[in-house]
Amino acid sequence: MAKGHSVYRCTECGAEHSKWAGKCDGCGAWNTLVEEAVGRTTGPARGRKGVLPASPPVRLSEIAAGRTPTRWRTGIAELDFVVGGGIVPGSLILIGGEPGIGKSTLLLQCAARLEAAGVPVLYAAGEESVEQIQLRAARLTEDAGRVQVLPEVRLDAITAQASASGTRVLIVDSIQTTYTDELEGAPGNVGQVRECAARLMRFAKETGTAVLLIGHVTRTGGIAGPKTLEHIVDTVLYFEGESSSDFRILRCVKNRFGSVDEVGIFQMTASGLTPVANPSQTFLAGRDSGISGSAVTPLLEGSRPVLVEIQALAAKSGFGTPQRVATGLDHRRLAVLLAVLERRAGLRFSDLDVFVNVTSGMRLVEPASDLAVVAALCSSLKDRAVPPDAVFLGEVGLGGEIRPVAATERRLSEAERLGFRQAFVPARGKLSTSIATIPVAHVADLARRLAA
Ligand X SMILES: Nc1ncnc2c1ncn2[C@@H]1O[C@H](COP(=O)(O)OP(=O)(O)OP(=O)(O)O)[C@@H](O)[C@H]1O
Residue 105 interacting entry, from Mg ion, ligand X, none, C-beta within 5 to 8 Å by type: ligand X
CA distances from 326 to 124, 296, 424 (A): 40, 16, 23
β-strand pairing of 235-240 with 92-97:
parallel
Q: Of the two residues 175 and 340, which places its CB atom closer to ligand X in the complex?
A: 175
Applying CB under 6 A, does 99 fall inside the site for ligand X? Answer: yes
Applying CB under 6 A, does 39 fall inside the site for ligand X? Answer: no
Q: Which of 84, 96, 97, 215 binds ligand X (CB under 6 A)?
A: 97
Angle between helices 103-116 and 130-138 (to 10 degrees): 80
Applying CB under 6 A, does 212 fall inside the site for ligand X? Answer: no
Residue 47 interacting entry, from Mg ion, ligand X, none, C-beta within 5 to 8 Å by type: none
Assess contact for 34 and 193: CB atoms under 8 A.
Answer: no
Q: Of the two residues 42 and 129, which places its CB atom closer to Mg ion in the complex?
A: 129
Applying CB under 6 A, does 44 fall inside the site for ligand X? Answer: no
Q: Of the two residues 103 and 411, which places its CB atom closer to ligand X in the complex?
A: 103
Radius of gyration, CA atoms only, the chain: 26
Q: Of the two residues 42 and 269, which places its CB atom closer to ligand X in the complex?
A: 269
Assess contact for 354 and 334: CB atoms under 8 A.
Answer: yes
Q: Of the two residues 223 and 295, which places its CB atom closer to Mg ion in the complex?
A: 223
Binding site for Mg ion (CB under 5 A): 104
> CB of 100: closest distance to ligand X in angstroms?
4
Applying CB under 6 A, does 23 fall inside the site for ligand X? Answer: no
Give the 3-state secondary structure of residue 359. Answer: helix
> CB of 92: closest distance to ligand X in angstroms?
19
β-strand pairing of 352-358 with 304-316:
antiparallel
Q: Of the two residues 108 and 308, which places its CB atom closer to ligand X in the complex?
A: 108
CA distances from 220 to 30, 33, 225, 227, 321 (A): 20, 21, 12, 12, 28
Give the 3-state secondary structure of residue 216. Answer: strand
Residue 191 interacting entry, from Mg ion, ligand X, none, C-beta within 5 to 8 Å by type: none
How many residues in the shown chain lie near ligand X by CB under 6 A?
14
Residues 250-289 that bind ligand X (CB under 6 A): 268-270
Look up residue 256 and give its amino acid.
R
Distance (Å, whole) CA 306 – CA 263:
11
Give the binding site for ligand X (CB under 6 A): 97, 99-105, 127, 139, 216, 268-270
